[in-house]
Amino acid sequence: MENKEEILFAWGDNKRYNSQSARLKEEYGGRVQKVSISAGFTCPNRDGSVGVGGCTFCNNESFTPKYTREANNITDQINTGLKFLKKRYKRTAMFVAYFQSYTNTYGTLETIKGIYNEALSHPDINGLVIGTRPDVTTNEQLDYIEELAKDYYIDLEFGIESTNDIVLDAVNRGHNFASSADAIKRASGRGFDVGGHMLFGLPGESRESMLNQVHDINVLPLQTIKFHQLQIVKNTIMAKQYATNPDMFDLFSKDEYINFVIDFMELLRPDITVQRLTSEAPPSIRIAPNWEAGRIGDIQKEIEDRMEQRNTWQGRLYSENK
């Protein structure tokens, strides 16, 4: 019988995909935990700069902790988040501030300096994770973030969502894939992690077209990536579309998604670390799909078990020539 402890993949452990959390744990000597922050930013496709109404799938309540909407300032949000997280994760080596809601480089350099510096001035915060869009991240901002990275852990995450421009236009994304590729290239090589988000299941995508996008991702200088499955949530344009024309959506069943994300990872460049395999909107606002045992940890375990059953791993089918 095969001894699992003898298995060692290219990234140096027995997990069948290159886990970002495992990499950070190894680098910093323990768990690196994000403290979510809502800094009051908006988005250029909400305020009329490039569009109005926002992305058709977006309701920030689906991923933003309640305390970030109740606290008055960044320091209060950090203190509230730490109070909970320190009880839940007692062996955390490092906390980082996670600017998650909306577009967190959408402001003047002086504005973002003030916001980031307030977070970094907290004695328990040792880095930043910055979620943003590629079309509003300037070289001047990247220069500043590069300076921060000399003293702190920094992860700059771009919302790619899809590499299909027709699909991006249909969901009112307000930028094309070329914009994502350009921003990722401009951000790379500056001493901080550069990440991307992919959203699987958008209208107009087939399983085959989504799987083929892995080749667009593999040629980008990304260090890390997140995978999300499309969920229809309340108070979005998609919620209205789903109510009037559900046939325009081909939502994943849980089993379909598990197999798809494994298929995607088989083709994914093995040095790209995976931060997230799935997403979870609160049941109170989620309309569809309704997966049983839908907690993130449960589905992650099912994905890992399925990879073992299939005897596969990230990058198994990867080829630099594709």
**What does the DSSP assignment read for 111-142?**
HHHHHHHHHHTSTTEEEEEEEE-GGG--HHHH
Is residue 109 a contact partner of residue 140, using CB atoms and an 8 Å limit?
yes
For residue 262, being part of any structural domain is answered with no
Q: Which of 183, 202, 172, 181 is nearest to 48 (CA)?
A: 172
- 29 within some domain: yes
In a domain, 73, yes or no: yes
pLDDT digits (tens, 9 = 90+) for 52-95: 888 899 886 655 566 555 557 899 999 999 998 998 888 898 99
Would residue 118 count as lying in a domain?
Answer: yes
d(CA 105, CA 125) in angstroms, rounded, equals 19
- Domain limits for position 51: 17-227
Cβ proximity of 45 and 174 under 8 Å: yes
Count of the separate structural domains present in the chain: 1
- pLDDT of 1 reads 38
- pLDDT score recorded for residue 116: 95
Q: Which residues contact 137 (CB under 8 A, 6 or more apart)?
A: 105, 156, 158, 183, 186, 187
Mean pLDDT over the full length of the chain: 91
Contact 164, 206 (CB under 8 A): no
pLDDT at 237 over 90: yes
Residue 66 lies in a domain: yes
Provide the CATH number for the domain around residue 165.
3.20.20.70
- Establish if 25 belongs to a structural domain: yes
State the pLDDT at residue 150: 98
Between the ranges 45-54, 103-112, 202-211, where is the mean pLDDT highest?
A: 202-211
- pTM above threshold 0.75: yes
pLDDT for the residue 91: 83
Q: Is residue 194 part of a domain?
A: yes
Report if residue 222 sits inside a domain: yes
- Residue 146 pLDDT > 60, yes or no? yes
At 320 the pLDDT is 79
